[in-house]
A = this chain, B = another copy of it.
Amino acid sequence: MRYCSQCGSGVTLTVPEGDNMPRHVCAECGTIHYQNPKIVVGCIPEWGDQLLLCKRAIEPRYGLWTLPAGFMENGETVQQGAARETLEEAQAQVEVGALYALFNLPHINQVYMLFRARLPAPEYGPGAESLETQLMSESEIPWDEIAFPVIHESLQLYFRDRATGRFPLRTGSIRRLEGQARRYEVLIEDNAA
């Protein structure tokens, strides 16, 4: 950020009075421009014992598999956002259920929220951002071709929980290890209260 989005003057990075973090502040009009994490919402769409996955038609991670998910928009709920992304990326209507996975990705300022969701019918297809969509049973998941660590981790937790028949909320954090391409640290919390 270099210019004030309110008045067009230059901004400077400074700690405002009463604050303890540097912010982009406009010296001209005084506007403080906060920057905050974004929410990524998505679904784990279930049809019998199969899940609906999408092959990415866009960068990053073109050609790899993921769950339907994307940035939450203003004016919607997290559940509506998860359903919208599933419709956009996999052309599938879903009934959104309980929140299953909540992951922090602090190195890229994102919070992932993945919901279990029910496909009322096996009707789906690739949206504009997908090359292909496919219902997969556990044995068909292409574990070496999953686009993002957060999706890989969520799917692994999901199948482990499914074997027990219970799906408690799973929370954790995934951090990229510094100086190493595609190496991550994964922390899963124990939420037993």
Contacts and interface: CB of A to CB of B under 8 A. Distances in A.
A137 interface: no
Interface residues of A, number: 47
B74 A109 contact: yes
B116 A193 contact: yes
How would you classify the secondary structure of chain A's contact residues: helix, strand, loop or mixed?
Answer: loop
A121 interface: no
Interface of A: 1-8, 10-11, 18, 21, 24, 33-39, 71-79, 97-99, 102, 104, 106-107, 109, 111, 116, 128, 167, 169, 171, 173, 189, 191, 193
11 contacts: A4-B5, A5-B33, A35-B74, A36-B38, A39-B111, A74-B109, A77-B106, A79-B171, A98-B191, A99-B169, A169-B169
